[in-house]
Structure formats: C-alpha cells, structure tokens
A and B are shown apart, each in its own frame.
Chain A
C-alpha cells in the first residue's frame, strides 16, 4: 500500500489492515509522519520534531503540530508489530496513529497549552486519556496546536502562530482544538483528541469537515487535562467518520478515581445502536439556536440535513430552549471565573516561565504579564471581576443560576424528543485575522455550542454539507450539531451515522474544488 493510500484511510480500515497484516504499524506511522513532514512546517529531524517558529512558516504549512514525537511513535509502532507477530491479542485500534491536543499531559513530553507561560515544563505524569490511549496501543504522533489555554475559537490565540484550515489554507480551522481538527482533515492522523469547554471540539470539527464529539461531562477523565474551566472541560474524539469517532470515544471514556467529577457509571456502548437508524426517533430542532445569526448558506445545509433525517423516518419537531440565548453571556462569566482561579498556579514559582524581580509578588506579576497572551489576560480579568466581592452575585452567581435554567430547559425538551439538533456554527470558517480584533464576534462563534456545555450533555458535530462563504468563496464545510440527554452519547452517534450514510459526503477537502484546499490522499485513484 502506498503512503498516500495509508494516510487517506480511516481508523477502522487501518485497524483491519493491520490486523490482517497487510501493512505494519511502522509503515502506517511512517506514512503519517511523512505527510506531517511535507505539509505541517516542522523541522523533521531526529526523534522529536519541532514546529518552525511562526515567522518561518509558509502559507501552505498547516501548522497542526507543535511537537511531533517521531522517535517514540516509531518505537511504539515497532513494539506493536513485534507483539502482533508474536500472536498477542491486541486492542481494536492497536497501531492506529493519533494527534493529541497539547493541553493533555504525556510524561516526558513538554506540554505548552499553546502558551509561553509553560515554557520548559515537562509533565511528570500521564493524563488518564494518554494512559488509556497507550493501553489501547493507539500511537501518539505528537501534540497539536491550540488557542492558548484553550481560550479561543480559531487557534489564532496560540503563542506559536495559527493553524490553517485544510479546506482553505487562508482560513481558520476553528478552535480551540484547531490543530487536532486540522491534523485529521489534512490526513496527518486518522484520529485526534481535542477538548471542549464551550465548543472547542464541535466548532473545529464543523470548520474542517470532520466529526467531533463532546462526551457527557464526566465520561472522560480530566486528570492531566490542564484546566481552563473545570466544570465544563471535557476531552473527546475527532475522526473523519462517525464510526472511527465512536471507536475512539470508547477508548477514552470510563471512571477514573483520580478525577472526583468522573462519572462512576459503567461506560456506554456507543457501537451497539450505531446502525439502528433514525426511523421512529423524535428529533427536536432548537428554535433559539437555529435562528442565532446563521449565514444563509449554513441555514440551507442545516434545513437539507433535517429533511434528510425526516426522509430516513425521524419525526421532526420544533423545540424551544427559552434560556438558550443567555447561554453565551452565562458561559463567558462562568468559564473565565473558573479560569481566573485555575490559571493562578502559573506564577513562576514551581515551573514554567519566570521573569526575575526583587520580590515574589513582583516576580509573579512580571512572569504572568510576559507569559500570558492578550485573550488569556482578558479572560482572567473578566473572571476575577466576576468573582469579586460586590460583583459575584450579579455576575458569577447569576450566571450559575442561568446555567441551572438552561439545564432544566434541556431536561424538559428531552421529555418530548430523543435528540436535539442545530447548526454547529452560525458561519462557515472565517479568514485568518478576520475576527482577531473583535473578541465579541469571536465569542459569537460559540453561540450554538455553549448551551450543551453548560448543561453537561453530550453533543457531537457531524459534516452536513458544504456552503459558500458570504463573499462567494468556497465551498466550505458545514456541521450539524446533535445533542442528547446526559449519558446518552450513543444516541448522538446513532443519528450522526444515519445522516453520514445518507449524505455520503467526501471528507477530502480537495474533492470540493476550493483553490486553497489541501487534498487528502485517497486510497484509490493515486491522487495526493
């Protein structure tokens, strides 16, 4: 099999080929490393490859990875191959490569969270997610770019320069997990891990034409996930199809005694009902999220997707979540409030950047001023204010009350319907730099995704079609968001799978004809 064929294959297909010994893990890993070396703007040298400084990156470099752990990935691959040859019983995804968002720790590999603040910090421990991946013999290729401390919706807030969208290299891949999403869309990895606090998996999945899921809060351990907003953060899977995404979530989820908020319930089987179809399912269209400033192109794709689901036998109902419009302001109080406290530990005392000064207090201030970028500083200030004596009731506590009301809205809605749907984002991916001077416009990218985050429910984005941008350029991907009650992640996958099968969309950015697209290598036809 050619390298191009291998990097175009999905995780399940690769796993099958590996199991059948048609290809070795080492060949699969090398093919992906080669694609990264060619398209990502890394110095592909030695065991650890570093992304080039942003000023040295070219217009065609995706810049999905901050660091590529080529040496350890190859070693892991060789070890898997040895054990496979020895007849060892391997896990379902054994040997499949993966890109890990640089907000999850991996022992011995620097974790930056897209920030200068963590300079030089090498985590002394593995995140539970990382440990589970290793136990499943999924091969980690490297750590991916992200908005600094996961704060952002475009990956432009990375201290190491933005990631580009493989559908149009002049556009953003969304964020904050933009590096992971772009890596998958660009064929640099069939699987990736992102984290979602207010939409940081779903929005980049929609922007890069792939599948991304935010599991039920508590389904995946946060141990080793550098916290942005602890009550909202949840790690989850990216892949180019629904089955692969479900397979990866199966690896990630499960109770973890190292995380007090981890769900002690047995893990959900996401595959058992995957192919059950949507006939007879009641699907609710959320009025408030559908009308939330959607571009006409996005709206058309969304309505077509609804029509498809209806044709497949689902009942479509219009549902109201009256408090959903308050989700965005509530989110932008709760999340910064928690962040202001979570990020207090970055003080230059124990690890990371230290700017020397005559007193501990001055050293703290100087280090934080030098280490944090503008968006992080903005949110720390907002959050500090929201918790301050005299304001906490009007801001933080009021937002917490709104959060409860939104969760109740969902609970009442789910009394009538099985799942809820909305467009994942109101727009197609915007251009690099287009919103960097307008934080509110950037925050509005999350309007449809934050309500589910506040309620803790599982939500997933699946490609629903393509649309032109308002300036006529494109086509660009559009995602459908599916939301289910707490712990009913399987329903999201079931609906997404049905839609995916019915639409038969090609995940290859190159197949849609955009002039600045990076074509995904295809297993057939010799392209790439």
Chain B
C-alpha cells in the first residue's frame, strides 16, 4: 500500500531510451554529434533515399551487450531486427528498425538506493528486456508558437535519424516515485561508468517514459497510462505522483482508467491525454529483410563481460568499507568523480577526506560555475596534494578552498602547491617570520597585551585579528595564538 494513496498501491514500470555515444550512426557512417546545423550529418541511408541499405554498427552492438551485462541480463545467442511500420514525417523510411520478438538482452536487474525516512535503503527493480533500435529525425515547427498547432510550416532535421538507441524496459516492480527516480539516476550512472552514453536528459540522450497504474493491494494490475515528455529526474517523480493521484480520484469517483498515452506538462504540473491506445497504429512488425540474423557466442559474450568496469553498486560498497559516508559516495558517483577519488587515494590521500572535498567543495564550485568536472583538468594528484596541505597545516581550510578555486579556474595546469606558492596563499607557520609580525603587533598594542597579562583571556582575540590582518590571513591561527601568549608573557619583564 502506498501511504499517500489512501488504500491504493502504486505500480510503475519504466521504459528508458539511451542514445549511444558511438562516433557513427546505427546503420551508416554519419556522425552522431549533437547540436550541429540541421541536416549536416545525413546521407542516403539515414535520410531514407531509395536503394540505400542499413549496415549494423558493430560498436553499437558491443555497447548494448556491455550495458546488458552490466544490468545482469542474458545475451541472446541469435537475435534479429524487425521493422516497426508507421508513417511520420521525421521517420525517414516510414519504418523504424527495432527489435521485436527476440531482443538482444533479457531479464536483468538493477539495485538502487532510495532514501526512506532519512535513511538510504536498497530496492531491486527487475528488467524485462533491453533492445536496440534507431532514433528518428526531429520535426521543427516554424511559426509563432513553435508548436505544430498554428505553425506556418514544418521542417525536419535528420541529424538524429539513425542514431543508435537502446530501450531498457523494466518490470512493473516500482512502488513509489522515489524508487523510479533512483532507478533512472542509477541507470544514468551505469551508462556513464560504461562510457556508452552521455545520458544527458536535457539533450535527449536519455529519455524516460513511465507506465503508471494503481490498484487495491493484492488485486490484479490496474489499467496503465504511459506518461511521456519527462525531461528530468524531478519531473519523473512529479508526474508519477500526479498521475497516481489522478487515477485514484477517477476510481474513487466510480470511474475507470482508460489505457492511453499522456503528456506531462511541466509548467502546469499535470498529465494530459495525448492519444488513446485503442486507436494506436498497427505497427505490422516483420523481420527486416535488409539485415541478417545477429549471432554471438558465449566466448564473445565473456570477452565483453571482461571489459566491465566497476559498477556503481560495487563502488558504493567499496567506498562504504573505506569509511566514506553513503550520501557523499552517492554524490561522488553521480558526478562521475570516482576516478578522481581513486587516483587521489592512490596518491596517498585518505578516501573519506577526498570524498568530503569532492562531494562538498568541488561539487559546489562546479555547480556555481556551471562547468563539467572533465573540463577543469582537476586530477587525483591535485586532490591528494590539497588534502595533504590542509593536514600538515600549510593551508587553512579557507585558503584551501581558494586554492581549489584557482586550480579549477586555471584548467588544472598548476597544482595546489604551485598555485598557493604563486599567490602567496601558504600559511605562515614559520616561527621566525610569524614572530617578527607578532612582536610588532604586541609592541603596537600595549593596552591589549596588558589586559591579557591581567588575565583577560578574550583580549588576545583582538591581537590575533591584528596578526591575521598583517599577514593577509596567512598566519596559522593556532601557532599565532601560542606565539602571542609567549610574546605577551615575555614582555612582562
């Protein structure tokens, strides 16, 4: 039972489309670059010219296999491609090459971490299948509104036509919006770890549809609605919540749920009917006669399995064992910073200290400046150096943050030590240098010194402040305090 649904249980299954980041398209040699001028990455094959034939992209099949194995699925020894026939202007051939009866991957699973009552717990979501298909072009409606309705004319950009896509279909195992969100985030983390996709929702390189239904606990599955246009992890959660409440309301009012596709309106925060399922096209699936059966051997599958890197779940377990708090570990993994952490540890830093920096200050500064971690040139060695400089008192934590900022800004060309030296940001811990400043401060403030000597402990604060000002904050506060005490007491005689 779902607590906020008053007597109903929420049931969700997700269909996630992952656009592979192969250099070339699924069936031709065109580039897959995002954001190029319309119709510049287009050839006879992906624009559906008469006589052009598809030839499978081996890399895409490899990447699909890799993701299938990462999800614990079985790889079909023989599988084939079907044609899904429907007319749509952005579909160059008016059929999409997809997989139908025999997908490349079946029966996987995904373990996700969900926060419940302030604690992270593990949930398992089953994966029914993963199949390969091709992306379509993109319709552009030119005119006042930018939508089909009221547009002066329409244009089509086929740059995306034929880009390899993987569709990952979950079982309806999800019982709350948080698990759905965690599933999507986890899948994003996995494809990024594998390097098979950028998985950027805002660029459409990962897209998610949600099948939502509600039922009385123990009853058969309710009629589902498919929610489209979910453009972020946040909208996925909001849309599921709205849709569940809508369905419960319909049922409570004695109505019935109609199987349909619904569109999530992000601004209004509601789902709306897009099309009814009973009028949906008959796709007339049949095996694509331009392609031959794809076969693989268990040896070939094992060779791909051997390429699997450490996956997020294993990394989480490892970080936990190293003493990294779960929340910080999650941030490090989601930010694609595990490699940095491992490099820093290899360079001698402690995992919790590095994780603290990565999950805190590094993440904070990156998001404030809206830059990607890869663009900064930050290395594990830099991080290890930074942690060591704080540990040995060379940098105060305030200065360390400034040093980090400078390293990020400088594109990682100079490490923390070089940056600190160049900008004079190292702490002055040297007794001779600090002593000279302190002697001046004590001499210039005889009243304060006298107050300290008279037992007013707090009076020393003003003197510390003077030393800090004089050193532009570079004085080691603890050592300053000690030396000040000595100097004041020595001045007594």
Contacts and interface: CB of A to CB of B under 8 A. Distances in A.
A453 B292 CA distance: 17
Interface in B265-323: 282, 284-286, 289-292
Main DSSP-derived SS at the B contact region: loop
Main DSSP-derived SS at the A contact region: loop
A389 B286 CA distance: 11
Interface stretch (B42-50, B193-201, B384-392): B42-50
Contact of B95 (A226, A261, A337, A341): A341
B286 A392 contact: yes
Interface in B152-177: 154, 156
A260 B54 contact: yes
Contacts of A498: none
A462 interface: no
A350 B92 contact: yes
B87 A361 contact: yes
Contacts of B285: 387
A345 B87 CA distance: 9
A261 B287 CA distance: 13
A350 B47 contact: yes
Contacts of B49: 123-125, 350-351
B47 A227 contact: no
Contacts of A414: none
Given A111-B50, A123-B50, A350-B48, A260 B56 contact: yes
Interface stretch (A158-166, A217-225, A310-318, A424-432): A217-225
B474 interface: no
B93 A223 contact: no
A378 to B, nearest CB: 17
A347 B89 CA distance: 8
Interface string A382-416: 00100111001000100000000000000000000
B50 A345 contact: yes
B50 A349 contact: no
A440 interface: no
B50 A388 contact: no
B51 A260 contact: no
A260 B289 contact: no
A258 interface: yes
Contact of B290 (A125, A230, A360): A230
Interface residues of A, number: 44
Contacts of B51: 104-105, 111, 123, 127, 222-227
Interface string A332-345: 00000110110011
B50 A384 contact: no
Nearest to A111: B50
B44 A341 contact: no
A127 B44 CA distance: 11
Interface in A146-203: none
A121 interface: yes
A118 interface: yes
Given A113-B50, A344-B87, A360 B291 contact: no
A147 to B, nearest CB: 16
A255 to B, nearest CB: 12
B180 to A, nearest CB: 31
Interface in B51-99: 51-56, 83, 85, 87, 89, 92-95
Interface of A: 104-105, 111, 113, 118, 121, 123-125, 127, 222-227, 229-231, 257-261, 337-338, 340-341, 344-347, 349-351, 360-361, 364, 384, 387-389, 392, 396
Of all A-B residue pairs in the complex, the 8 with the closest CB atoms, nearest first, are A344-B94, A231-B289, A230-B289, A387-B284, A226-B50, A224-B51, A226-B51, A345-B48
